[in-house]
Amino acid sequence: MPIIEVVTLPLLPGSEGPKPDGLGPVPMGQIRSAAGMQIEHPHILEGVIVWDSVDANDAFIQSPDYKTTMAPLHSLRDPNGTAGMQHYHFDSLQNLKDATTAPVTEVARFYYDSQPTAELLSGFTEFGRRVIKENVPGVSGTAAALPDEDVGYDFGESQVIIFMIGWQSIKDHENFKKTQLFTDLLPLLKSDKATKIEMHHTAFIS
């Protein structure tokens, strides 16, 4: 079963993000990948990698090719920053591709005190479905997911839903938040149940 690895890696100040032809060779078991710098935090690299399975991801990490492939990137890592990695089960690989091939991707994480339910996730899925159905200007795709395992970030051990929306520009996202449709759809996310919400935009390169 395909699994999606989402990685965040703080880089040294002044480091450049990935180039269109600079994502490296494709490891065995990897279906596709995208990486880019967070716009609000331009020193943080974010990657979305689709694997055949968690085992395929683990096999690459344990292979001799891993150090060679990752050495250039790890040489740019800021030792004072905190990296993060998590596996997710997205509702649709095509939806994820549509969201992460846009010029800019909104990445939101909703943290909870306990494991979020499939019913809670369904609200995010419906939000995305309505955004597409209503032809919101600038939207190219949406995708939501539950994690495959517990998340350990600076915020501490928690459970999370990740929600991605592909936009033509940040301005399109900002304009959407001013609409009545956004106000009407917002209750679907049940934000009051989250203990913390963090959002940023990433310019992914596939």
Domain assignment of residue 182, given as a range: 3-205
Summarised one tens digit per residue, pLDDT across range 7-55 is: 999 999 888 776 655 556 778 899 999 999 999 999 999 999 999 988 8
Domains identified in the chain, total number: 1
Yes or no: say if 30 and 60 are a contact pair by the CB < 8 Å rule.
yes
Taking Cα atoms as reference points, which of 25, 37, 29 lies closest to residue 201? 37
Assess whether pLDDT exceeds 90 at residue 74: no
pLDDT band for position 99 (50/70/90)?
very high
10 burial (CB, 10 Å; 0-12 / 13-18 / 19+) is: buried
User: CB count, 10 Å around CB of 167?
Assistant: 24
Across the range 70-75, mean pLDDT stands at 79
- Residue 115: which CATH number? 3.30.70.100
Among 170, 202, 206, residue whose Cα is nearest residue 19 = 206
Classify each residue of 142-163 as buried b or exposed e, where b means 16 or more C-beta atoms within 10 Å of its C-beta: bbbbbbeeebebeeeebbbbbb
Q: Tell me, what's the pLDDT at 10?
A: 93
pLDDT the model gives residue 91: 79
Per-residue pLDDT at 156 exceeds 60: no
Distances (CA, A) of 112 to 83, 91, 159: 20, 20, 5
Q: What is the pLDDT of residue 157?
A: 47
